[in-house]
């Protein structure tokens, strides 16, 4: 059967757009199918709007707390609708980069519509049958539905609706203690909502270093956010116009509910069975080359589960591009995957946690920790909460790092670069850092390896002591 395209890409989010753009510029014949609008969750209901709202809320927080710097102020008047207009302005400014016009100018054919596989070599959309040498599924994910009695009837927000809210809710119950719940919970709190964060685990941000997550929780509580851990909502009801969440005999009354309790892959309408593509609870099953159980069909991004970040979807797209257009020889390498949670303080991570490293290497690991309180720039900005923690082997090989504090999402990249190039932690001390900068936290943390080794080496200390005694005698 003759094929019409080199590549049919299903899904116009981060992963799909990267594949489409690069493939078209390589002169492949490409068609991109999107059921809604290009840009995906990241542009419309994810990274871009959330970071815009977080920035607005951070300004509100700084204004409220300006007196600590000797700056008098009146209580700031927060116009929530105007803050939301800032969010929408940022989206509209970035949107042309992901527009159909731009991709068509690159040579990509763009089709809007919901489609499905007819077989392993044919995808149908709007009555058209698209045949290709290879397919890429990049349909992303959506918020998971919670089977909580009364929740649907009471109504709730997810990340798909929350950025369209024009009036600030006086009170907000956030179900979910992961990154989305924490980021948006703090943002709404700083913009004037009374926020209760409900986490089912024993701490918020359960995938992070416990000590780092505790620093974020302590900041939340200092700002008046109520944090409930080991707590699950049993049922929801509406009483006198307000939403009541019940956890056993305990109840929370809130004007609005935000659900941020996990994601599920967007696969239900694709008719994957007809294409011979298997999917499980976590999403579409892929091998190391990101091929599905039909080797002609690839998948990347949230739809395969794993690391659900825009930057990982873009990386996976680069792997898919090589394999789908040329020869399937490249494997995805997840050895060094960084991410950040954009709360205040920010929390960034790459590699293993201390617990995971101990489970794997036992007592052979070293934990190098540096508080921001000992970094002069942090003192100058009154941003001394938090720390950098680097986990290494005794020989200086970096196993992982965690930074919780100001600009953590930026600062982690020094460690990412070192790990990506298999540099020892000493590389962070060997380079010259500008003074005073927050980045000194990395070099100061790395220096702890030398200090720890020296403190444990009494023989070396004795030799050095005798050496200097001898020098002083001449």
pLDDT in tens, 338-347: 999 999 999 9
CA distance linking residue 341 with residue 274, whole number of Å = 39
Task: Please state the length of the chain.
Answer: 474
Q: Looking at the domain covering 5-143+264-325, what would its CATH class be?
A: alpha beta
- Is 463 buried (19+), middle (13-18) or exposed (0-12) by CB count in 10 A? exposed
Average pLDDT over residues 368-375: 98
Q: What is the pLDDT of residues 280-289, one digit of tens each?
A: 999 999 999 9
Taking residue 409's Cβ as centre, other Cβ atoms within 10 Å add up to 17
Do the two domains 5-143+264-325 and 151-262 of this chain adopt the same fold? yes
What is the pLDDT at residue 413? 98
Average pLDDT over residues 244-266: 96
CA distance linking residue 164 with residue 81, whole number of Å = 9
In contact, 232 and 248? CB cutoff 8 Å = no
CA distance linking residue 196 with residue 185, whole number of Å = 8
Q: Is a pLDDT exceeding 80 seen at residue 219?
A: yes
Q: What percent of the chain has pLDDT over 70?
A: 100
Tokens of 112: 């809007």
What is the pLDDT at residue 2? 58
Q: Is a pLDDT exceeding 70 seen at residue 126?
A: yes
Per-residue pLDDT band for 243 (boundaries 50, 70, 90) equals very high
CA 214 to chain centre: 18
The greatest distance separating any two alpha carbons of the chain, rounded to the nearest whole angstrom, comes to 94
What is the pLDDT at residue 426? 96
What is the pLDDT at residue 56? 97
Q: Is a pLDDT exceeding 60 seen at residue 1?
A: no
In contact, 138 and 324? CB cutoff 8 Å = no
Secondary structure class of 205 (helix, strand, coil): coil
CA 311 to chain centre: 9
What is the pLDDT at residue 473? 78
Domain ranges of the chain: 5-143+264-325, 151-262, 345-458
8-state DSSP, 424: B
Q: Angle of helix 210-222 relative to helix 179-190, nearest 10 degrees?
A: 20
In contact, 247 and 189? CB cutoff 8 Å = no
CATH number of 345-458: 3.30.390.30
8-state DSSP, 395: T
Query: Following DSSP, what letter does each residue of 308-359 receive, concatenated?
Result: --HHHHHHHHHHHHHHHHT-S------SS-EEEE-SSSEEEEEE--HHHHHH
CA distances from 401 to 208, 328, 336, 447, 473 (A): 11, 33, 11, 14, 45
What is the pLDDT at residue 191? 97
Secondary-structure breakdown of the chain: helix, strand, coil percentages, each rounded to the nearest 5: 40, 25, 35
Phi/psi at 458 (nearest 5 deg)? -65, -30
CA distance linking residue 464 with residue 83, whole number of Å = 61
CA distance linking residue 259 with residue 277, whole number of Å = 30
Lowest mean pLDDT among 74-78, 218-222, 442-446: 74-78
CA distance linking residue 184 with residue 188, whole number of Å = 6
**CA end-to-end span of the chain:** 91
Q: What is the pLDDT of residues 55-82, one digit of tens each?
A: 999 999 999 999 999 998 777 889 999 9
- The domain made up of 151-262 has a fold known as FAD/NAD(P)-binding domain (3.50.50)
Q: Is a pLDDT exceeding 70 seen at residue 32?
A: yes
Q: What is the pLDDT of residues 396-405, one digit of tens each?
A: 999 999 999 9
Secondary structure class of 264 (helix, strand, coil): strand
What is the pLDDT at residue 464? 72
What is the pLDDT at residue 467? 80
């Amino acid at each position: 059967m003759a094929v019409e395209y080199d590549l049919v890409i299903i899904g116009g989010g981060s992963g799909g757009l990267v594949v489409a753009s690069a493939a078209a510029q390589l002169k492949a014949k490409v068609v991109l199918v999107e059921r809604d609008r290009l840009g995906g969750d990241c542009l419309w209901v994810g990274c871009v709007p959330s970071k815009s709202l977080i920035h607005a809320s951070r300004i509100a927080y700084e204004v409220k707390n300006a007196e600590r710097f000797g700056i008098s102020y009146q209580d700031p008047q927060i116009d929530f609708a105007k803050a939301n207009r800032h969010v929408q302005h940022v989206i509209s400014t970035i949107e042309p980069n992901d527009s159909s016009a731009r991709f068509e100018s690159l040579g990509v054919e763009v089709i809007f519509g919901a489609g499905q596989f007819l077989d392993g070599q044919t995808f149908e959309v709007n009555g058209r049958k698209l045949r290709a040498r290879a397919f890429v599924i990049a349909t992303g994910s959506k918020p998971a539905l919670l089977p909580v009695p009364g929740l649907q009837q009471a109504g709730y927000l997810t990340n798909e609706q929350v950025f369209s809210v024009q009036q600030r809710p006086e009170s907000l119950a956030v179900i979910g203690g992961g990154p989305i719940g924490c980021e948006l919970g703090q943002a709404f709190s700083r913009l004037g909502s009374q926020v209760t964060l409900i986490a089912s685990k024993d701490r918020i941000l359960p995938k992070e270093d416990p000590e780092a997550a505790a620093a974020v929780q302590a900041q939340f509580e200092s700002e008046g956010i109520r944090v409930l851990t080991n707590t699950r909502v049993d049922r929801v009801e509406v009483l006198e116009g307000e939403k009541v969440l019940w956890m056993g005999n305990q109840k929370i009354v809130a004007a609005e509910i935000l659900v941020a309790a996990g994601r599920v892959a967007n696969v239900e309408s694709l008719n994957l069975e007809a294409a011979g593509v298997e999917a499980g609870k976590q999403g579409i099953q892929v091998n190391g080359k990101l091929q599905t159980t039909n080797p002609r069909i690839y998948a990347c991004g949230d739809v395969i589960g794993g690391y659900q970040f825009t930057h990982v979807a873009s990386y996976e797209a680069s792997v898919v591009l090589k394999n789908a257009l040329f020869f399937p020889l490249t494997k995805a390498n997840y050895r060094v995957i960084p991410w950040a949670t954009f709360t205040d303080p920010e929390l960034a991570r790459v590699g293993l946690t201390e617990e995971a490293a101990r489970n794997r290497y036992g007592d052979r690991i070293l934990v190098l920790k540096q508080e921001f309180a000992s970094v002069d720039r942090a003192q100058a900005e009154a941003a001394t909460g938090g720390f950098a923690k680097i986990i290494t082997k005794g020989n200086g090989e970096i196993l992982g790092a965690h930074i919780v504090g100001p600009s953590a999402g930026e600062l982690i990249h020094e460690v990412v670069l070192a790990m990506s190039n298999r540099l020892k932690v000493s590389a962070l001390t060997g380079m010259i850092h500008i003074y005073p900068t927050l980045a000194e936290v990395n070099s100061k943390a790395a220096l702890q390896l030398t200090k720890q080794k020296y403190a444990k080496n009494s023989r070396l200390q004795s030799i050095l002591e005798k050496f200097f005694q001898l020098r002083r005698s001449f």
